A = this chain, B = another copy of it.
Amino acid sequence: MDDRDERLDPADPAALLPGGRPHDRWMRLALDEARAAAAEDEVPVGAVVVAGGRIIASAHNQREQLADPTAHAEMIALTQAAAALGSWRLEGCVLYVTLEPCPMCAGAILQARVPVVVWGAADPKAGAVESLYRLFDDPRLNHQVEHVGRVLADECGRILTEFFRGKRG
């Protein structure tokens, strides 16, 4: 396991994005959250926030259970992480999420000043990082986010495909 993930330097987000596959470890924990969502009959998306080599937030989509339109995995994880740090500024944090963030979640990541996001499966219908918008790269906004996509993309996508196939079946 590449241990560079452990040395978070908020001044140099790019240093958090080394070659190789150091992100798999954290994405697998986000996948565990996605599986927990599926078990609760929620669209299976999971997210974790890592700071200083530790998980400070871990959440999955709970829109149906909470009857809350804002209860995507990333949103809950961001709120948890802010509570853990006692600040809305999530400097030095990396957010891992199994699906490319939608405009709401990408916007929340920008609001939280998260320096780095790693995502799994692309979302051609609503993705706001590469697919429909590129919110993280917009120089007009007051923050930009380093991002790496398609980490364990097949596995992250398969859990969604199987969930929706089960719904139709």
Contact = CB atoms under 8 A, between A and B. Distances in A.
Give the number of times this chain occurs in the complex, counting copies: 2
Nearest to A113: B69
Nearest to A101: B107
Interface stretch (A17-25, A52-60, A128-136, A151-159): A128-136
A119 B71 CA distance: 24
Interface residues of A, number: 40
A140 B127 CA distance: 11
Interface stretch (A4-12, A30-38, A80-88, A160-168): A80-88
Interface of A: 63-64, 66-72, 75, 78-79, 82-83, 86-90, 102-108, 110-113, 125-126, 128, 132-133, 135, 138, 140-142
